[in-house]
Amino acid sequence: MMLIRRGRGSGVAAPSGKKLGWSFWLCIGWLTVVILGAIFANLLPLPDPTAALGAPQNLGPSIHHLLGTDKIGQDVLSQIVFGSRVSLAVGFGATAIGLVIGGGLGLVSGFVGGWIDAFLNSVSLIFLSFPGIILAIALVTFAGHKLGVIVVALGIVATPLVFRLVRTSAQSFAQREFVAAARALGASGIRIVFREILPNVATTLVAYLFMAVGIMIFVEAALSFIGVSVPPPTPTWGVSIDQAVSDLQSNSILWIWPSLALFFTILSLNVAGDAIRKFFGVKESFL
């Protein structure tokens, strides 16, 4: 009883045999394909996505055009692969901005409390009471249809969301007794934030960030669907869906391909995020 033996000795909880599961790896596989495709699109044996009339129009899938061509003869697969660049850049870029600004301020706010917390929290509530997509449309309209502007605009949308998640989580851990113990040991505030609170906030955060990337990709697609994202001829998933929908009469299956790419990417991000949250979830109390 007094001594703990190596292995599953009495009095020691057995390590839980948690696994990430096949669905997680399937999702990671799809995301890897999409990300590698976006990075190495130029090296892939794909026709130029913007080469209009480079091929016969409205072809079905064939060996030369795996997913066929659209009404102006552009290769559909190539459009999707190149279009993923915008989606991923916006998804990861905007989330990164949200993580750095929202996450950093959230940690400070949740740990320090007091008037700093009250102030930052009010600001976040003001941002949240603004419909995010309207804010993004307004910013893009005024500052120009450039990739950088869209990333920043959606980063601003993501920031208060990440802030609130991190703040709440940091607050609850800041009240835990291990933080009081660290204080009693003489740890500085910065040390407590980075050594005691951040590691606990991080696991919830990672899962949430996966979903945030999905949401940002979705919002970018919605923006480009209504024409306020990167201007043509740069291919994006939203524009591809928009064009396919308007051509529904001449080519009834074209909309499926970019939609599926969007669907599987967002689904993969959500499932992977959820699996990570479960995997790192630590059983904390069994007294």
Partner 1 sequence: MAGSGTAHLIGAGALLTVEHLVVEFPAGPGRRVKAVSDVSFDVAPGETLGLVGESGCGKSTTGRAVIQLIRPTSGSVRFQGKELTGLRGKKLREVRRGIQMIFQDPISSLNPRRQVREIVAEPLAIWSDEGGEERQRKVREIFDAVGLDYEGAGSRRPHEFSGGQCQRISIARALMVNPQLLICDEPVSALDVSVQAQILNLLRDMKSRFRLTMIFIAHDLAVVKNISDRVAVMYLGKMCEVSPVEELYMRPAHPYTAALLASIPEPDPNVPPVATENLLGGELPSPIDPPSGCRFRTRCPIAQDVCAVHEPEIRQVSDGHFVACHFPRISPMTIGRGAPAATWASPVTG
Binding region for partner 1 (CB under 8 A): 1-7, 9, 11-13, 15, 176-178, 180-188, 191, 195-196, 199-200, 203, 282-287
Minimum gap (Å) between residue 160 Cβ and partner 1: 26
The residue (of 86 and 108) whose beta carbon lies closer to partner 1 is: 108
Minimum gap (Å) between residue 9 Cβ and partner 1: 7
Give the relative orientation of helices 256-280 and 237-246 as an angle to the nearest 10 degrees: 140
Integer-rounded Cα Rg, in Å, for the chain is: 23
* Most distant pair of Cα atoms in the chain: their distance: 79
Minimum gap (Å) between residue 113 Cβ and partner 1: 13
How far, CA to CA in Å, does 212 sit from each of 47, 65, 161, 241? 32, 33, 9, 22
The residue (of 37 and 103) whose beta carbon lies closer to partner 1 is: 103
The residue (of 42 and 285) whose beta carbon lies closer to partner 1 is: 285
Residue 280: CB partners within 8 Å, gap ≥ 6?
Answer: 203, 206, 207
Minimum gap (Å) between residue 106 Cβ and partner 1: 18
Q: What is the DSSP letter of 234?
A: S
State the number of CA atoms in the 13 A half-sphere of 39 facing the CB: 6
The residue (of 25 and 178) whose beta carbon lies closer to partner 1 is: 178
The pair of three-digit structure tokens given for residue 20, joined into one six-digit string: 């990430």
Minimum gap (Å) between residue 286 Cβ and partner 1: 8
The residue (of 11 and 45) whose beta carbon lies closer to partner 1 is: 11
